[in-house]
Amino acid sequence: MSEETLGRTLLVATVVALGCALMVSTAVYLLRPMQLVYADLERNRIVVEAAGLVPPGSRLTDRAIVSLFVDLETRIVDLETGRFTEDVDPRLYDQRAASNDPEMSVAIPEQLDLGRLGRRARYAPVYLLTNGEQINRIVLPVHGQGMWSTLYGYISLGSDFNTIVDISFYEHGETAGIGDRIQDPAWQAEWVGKRLYDDAGELRFTVVRNGAPPFQVDIISGASVTAEGVGNLVRYWLGEHGYAPFLARLRVSGSASVEG
Amino acid sequence: MSYRRDFLDPLINTNPITVQILGLCSALAVTSSLLPALIMSVAVISVLAFSNVAVSLMRTVIPRSIRLILQMTLIASAVIVVDEILKTFAPEVSRILSVFVGLIITNCIVLSRVEAFAMQNDVRASLLDGIGNGLGYSLILIPVAGLREVFGSGTLLGYSLLPLTSEGGWYTPNELMLLAPSAFFIIGLLIWWIRAWRAQQVEQPDYVLHTVEDQEMM
């Protein structure tokens, strides 16, 4: 063991810290591009599952997921007017990038900002499952704050544009084993069949303690902040500032032909 | 001690789980099926080998006053790199293992080898000791995980071994096997079996009770 002086101690500590920092950042820098490819695949898988294209219990290959995803009908919705728009190419549109682009996004009024987002993109990509004229299912992207992180996921509605058939998140930074129970199949199953709006078209859906049908989902005990975050972001996105005008329009026309 | 012993001893004679009784937390958590246990074993072996070598290389320059925090910095960096590699190349297993890869940082086996061995031994011995202890850990982890998967889900590495009644077969899975306590029982039985076979591993009791005689009371 060598002689210990303050200078020497500080020097060794600095060299070790810098060496370790270099090692970790090099690894992350080299691996990130491959991780992004996987993240994209994971997002596609969640959309395809939310659209009900994956039979329960079966596992699809990566290739099958991508081909199902590419075959899904993707449309862009202008959230302001509640109509489909052709202004941007659905294949290239990046909602997350648009949310940070002042040209492509709008500020969310503070009293409406349940997902604590600040801004949202003007356009949203939605995925439709149709049989000819009728829309059987619609998959809507949603995001908002959980406890520690922004949660990104999809909510899927049935042909009445009111009943939830699926909710799933593909990206979050919540605590493993606690907040990440928002991905627990048992909790996701509680959402199925719950309704968003009452007969007057009022948004009644909430995530609360001891939630009961037809409009409520029970919080996750031990992860109530994250679960309430999910409830709030769903309330924001399915509310007046989100998809509500668009869904109301679909409910009247009942088909994919709500052009212009 | 020879290099050969550095490598072979931790497999059975000084096995980290059954003799040193370290690293039990992760041994309970990641052994409900075989694949995560295999990946976890590779991760622990890599981290042990890296941190033992790194600390051994620096053992003459590490100031004593900050040695633990330097060791932890090296261990934590190795674990982050391993975690990132898993997230890239085995994303699904990485999700199953979730926090337990990150928790290798706090796995007592790693710090104990670094502090007790690598600080006093040359690089070659430290590398062998690291790999040996990692393999010793795996040697317990893998059979425990195999047993739990076969009797808990009727499969091994996802392939059906015992056809389940729910799928028209004859085997009703033992669901206790999927819960952490079953690993406790299996590891306990393993320790019993190994100590029956290698009686020198049985510890001498620290205190012996003896009957108090009447005279001694006076």
Q: B115 to chain A: which residues are within 8 Å by CB?
A: none
> Is A242 within the bounds of a domain?
yes
Q: B81 to chain A: which residues are within 8 Å by CB?
A: 23-24, 27
> Is A7 within the bounds of a domain?
no
Tell me which residues of chain B have a C-beta less than 8 Å from any C-beta of chain A.
58, 60-66, 69-70, 73-74, 76-77, 80-81, 84-85, 87-89, 91, 98-99
What is the interface pTM, i.e. ipTM, of the complex? 0.80
Least confident of B75-79, B105-109, B198-202: B198-202
> Is A9 within the bounds of a domain?
no
Residue to test with chain B: of A9, A20, A174, most B Cβ within 10 A: A20
> Is A16 close to B73, i.e. CB distance below 8 A?
yes
Residue A163 scores a pLDDT above 90:
yes
Instruction: Give per-residue pLDDT as tens, A38-81.
Output: 888 889 999 998 888 888 777 788 888 888 888 888 999 999 99
> Is B93 within the bounds of a domain?
yes
> Is A20 close to B84, i.e. CB distance below 8 A?
no
- Dist. CA A250–CA A237, nearest whole Å: 16
> Is A15 within the bounds of a domain?
no
> Is A40 within the bounds of a domain?
no
Confidence band of B216 (pLDDT split at 50, 70, 90): low
Number of domains into which chain A is organized: 1
> Is B63 close to A17, i.e. CB distance below 8 A?
no
Instruction: Give per-residue pLDDT as tens, A100-151.
Output: 999 899 999 888 898 889 999 999 999 998 877 788 899 999 999 999 999 9
- Counting Cβ atoms within 10 Å, is residue B172 exposed (0-12), middle (13-18) or buried (19+)? exposed
- For residue B186, what are the domain limits? 3-201
Q: B58 to chain A: which residues are within 8 Å by CB?
A: 12, 16
How does strand A119-121 pair with strand A134-145? Answer: unpaired
> Is A91 within the bounds of a domain?
yes
Predicted TM-score (pTM) of the model is 0.77
Tell me which residues of chain A have a C-beta less than 8 Å from any C-beta of chain B.
1-2, 4, 8-9, 12-13, 16-17, 20-21, 23-24, 27-28, 31, 34-35, 38, 42, 176-177, 180
> Is B64 close to A4, i.e. CB distance below 8 A?
yes
Kindly report the CA angle at A188 between A45 and A193, in degrees rounded to 5?
A: 105
Kindly report the average pLDDT of chain B as a whole number: 89
- For residue A103, what are the domain limits? 72-253
Q: B73 to chain A: which residues are within 8 Å by CB?
A: 16-17, 20
Q: B43 to chain A: which residues are within 8 Å by CB?
A: none
What HEC string does chain A produce?
A: CCCCCHHHHHHHHHHHHHHHHHHHHHHHHHHHHHHHHHHHHHHHHHHHHHCCCCCCCCCCCHHHHHHHHHHCEEEEEECCCCEEECCCCCCCCCHHHHHCCCCCEEECCHHHCCCCCCEEECEEEEEEEEECCEEEEEEEEEEEECCCCEEEEEEEECCCCCEEEEEEEEECCCCCCCHHHHHCHHHHHHHCCCECECCCCCECCEEECCCCCCCEEECCCCCHHHHHHHHHHHHHHCCCCCCHHHHHHHHHHCECCCCC
> Is A212 within the bounds of a domain?
yes
> Is A196 within the bounds of a domain?
yes
Number of domains into which chain B is organized: 1
Residue A259 scores a pLDDT above 50:
no
> Is B65 within the bounds of a domain?
yes
Given this model, what pLDDT does residue B218 score? Answer: 53
Given this model, what pLDDT does residue A207 score? Answer: 92
Kindly report the average pLDDT of chain A as a whole number: 89
What's the average model confidence in pLDDT over A84-106? 90
Least confident of B51-60, B128-137, B173-182: B173-182
> Is B216 within the bounds of a domain?
no
